[in-house]
Amino acid sequence: MTKKRDFGLENLLALNGDRYFVDEKGEFEVIFKVKCVALKPETPHGLKYSLVLLNAKGERVVGFDNAHVARQGSGPGKKRSLQLDHKHIGNRVTPYDFKDALTLLQDFWKEVDKRI
């Protein structure tokens, strides 16, 4: 059995290092950081990524990444997940079910479009 090809992967990797203002006033900026990494339990898709929407103050409004373990809840009782893939919407962090690179881009842009 062969692994399903991720056709959006080249597109996602090509965005690495790119920064774009995504509104007419130049108040919202998206930043992409993406690179291939070794396949491990915490990176089963072989990617390290951060897709972020910042407001004019440089504050994160939306973020999809796998830079750290996602914690759910608030206060000292936060639950620690083994899953690295997660999203930030405002101050809320929730696990993200990574399917493939194209779906990641689509999900990110859906959240960005809701906020600009």
Q: For residue 77, what pLDDT band results from cuts at 50, 70 and 90?
A: low
Give me the phi and psi of 80, to 5 degrees please: -100, 125
Tell me whether residue 3 is in a domain: no
**Token pair recorded at residue 116:** 């600009």
Residue-wise pLDDT for 93-111, tens only, equals 999 999 999 999 999 999 9
Considering its fold, how many domains does the chain have in total? 1
Residue-wise pLDDT for 17-56, tens only, equals 999 999 999 999 999 999 999 999 889 999 999 999 999 9
Q: Report the half-sphere exposure of 9 (CA within 13 A, side-chain side).
A: 14
Instruction: Identify the domain containing residue 95 by its residue range.
Output: 9-111
Tell me whether residue 57 is in a domain: yes
Tell me whether residue 19 is in a domain: yes
Residue 73 predicted with pLDDT over 70:
no
Tell me whether residue 2 is in a domain: no
DSSP string of 10-36, one letter each residue: HHHHHTTT-EEE-STTS--EEEEEEEE
Tell me whether residue 4 is in a domain: no
Give me the phi and psi of 76, to 5 degrees please: -70, -15
